[in-house]
Structure 1
Amino acid sequence: MTDETVAALIRRVEVLEAEADIRRLQARYMFLCDTPNPEYGVADDAKRIELILELYTEDAVWEGVGEYYDGQFGRAEGKPAIREHFQRFWGEKQDPALLLNAHYLTSEQIHVHGDTADGQWIHMQPWLFSDGKSLLRSSRLNNAFRKEPDGWRITRTRTENVFVAPLPDRFASDYPSTSVLLKP
């Protein structure tokens, strides 16, 4: 093999590894956002928020965009603002309480550009509330990533509503109050 061939193979492997790391990073973010939280040993939302923040760079942006999400989510710049965003979501007592939501990612596209990357997904998530109401929510994600010394991190989460659809009351009958999936 020539030096050029070896260099080309190394670049291809680096791109494949970056895509895999970014895929796991995005999936971990969604996993940590699920309710009930499936991360074993994380009993409170303050810990969950800190685990989510570990996935972000210090200068990251989290934003809802478009006619439906601009007003609902707004824009948070930097980890302190992103922390406040999640504290508003999980830190305040919600009535009715959110009993379940689960994130399903589809239509993945990851584009690696050296030490930066962007990715697009569509996600869907059912939401079940304590008053029996339910809805199905779908969003497009257009996220950005950067390779830091300790691995890939999220530099931007951008979400745009695709649809919100009410589901019949109490459409789901069997769901966990806590997750034991990762229990040793």
Structure 2
Amino acid sequence: MTEAGDIAALIRRIEILEAEAEIRRVQARYMMLCDTPCPEPGVKDDAERIDRIMELYAEDAVWEGVGEYYDGQFGRAVGHEAIRAHFNRFWGEKSDPALVLNAHYLTSEQIFVNGDEAEGLWIHMQPWLFSDGTGLLRSSRLFNAFRLEDGDWKITRTRTENVFVAPLPSAFASDYPGTSVLLNPSE
């Protein structure tokens, strides 16, 4: 290979690594925005949380739950308006008992970049705790897609399939915050 070819190959490898890193950040930020309490600084309410989530999605994106369990629970939403409505149903209607703790843990990551498009696979675990002390543990597989738009990676597909849902012992978590101040420098 020529020196120019070597340099071009190195540049392409760096571009792929940078794309993977940015996609990783987009996916992790999406998950953090879905956590309860929400650790994103300055999020005043669930409407603002949803606005910030929607900033991560392409206008033509698809959000879908698939498989025998999630298909009926989540269905399929196509485009910003339908995806926003999906999140409004989740956070817009206050549940009884209220959700007081929810955290997403991502693992088994695989990201494949092909030019201005990419796909990523993850497995995630998610403990839930409700105000009445009941709790459950969810796990699902994610098969998501991304596209580079005006220099930013956007989510074009969130596709989630249930691995399992399991009840947790009553009041499994004894100590947890009512709000998150982790990323707030003034706290």
Quickly name the TM-score band, shorter chain normalised: over 0.9
- Per-residue deviation, 1:183: 1.5
Residue identity opposite 2:38 in structure 1 = N
The match for 1:171 is 172
CA distance in 2, matches of 1:94, 1:139: 22
Q: Aligned residues: percent identity?
A: 77
The match for 2:35 is 34
Residue identity opposite 1:40 in structure 2 = P
The match for 1:111 is 112
Listed as ranges, the matches of 1:49-128 within 5 Å are 49-128=50-129
CA distance in 2, matches of 1:157, 1:114: 19
Q: TM-score, normalised by structure 2?
A: 0.97
Aligned length: 184
The match for 2:9 is 8
CA distance in 2, matches of 1:68, 1:128: 21
CA distance in 1, matches of 2:115, 2:41: 34
CA distance in 1, matches of 2:42, 2:16: 34
CA distance in 2, matches of 1:63, 1:114: 24
The match for 1:129 is 130
The match for 1:151 is 152
Q: SS in structure 2 opposite 1:126?
A: strand
- Per-residue deviation, 1:150: 3.4
Deviations 1:124-154 (A, max 9, x none): 0100001110011000000000000131000
Residue identity opposite 1:97 in structure 2 = A
CA distance in 1, matches of 2:25, 2:16: 14
CA distance in 1, matches of 2:137, 2:151: 36
CA distance in 2, matches of 1:93, 1:55: 24
Query: What stretches of structure 1 of length at least 5 have no aligned partner?
Result: none
The match for 1:162 is 163
CA distance in 2, matches of 1:121, 1:15: 18
Q: SS in structure 2 opposite 1:30?
A: helix
Query: What stretches of structure 2 of length at least 5 have no aligned partner?
Result: none
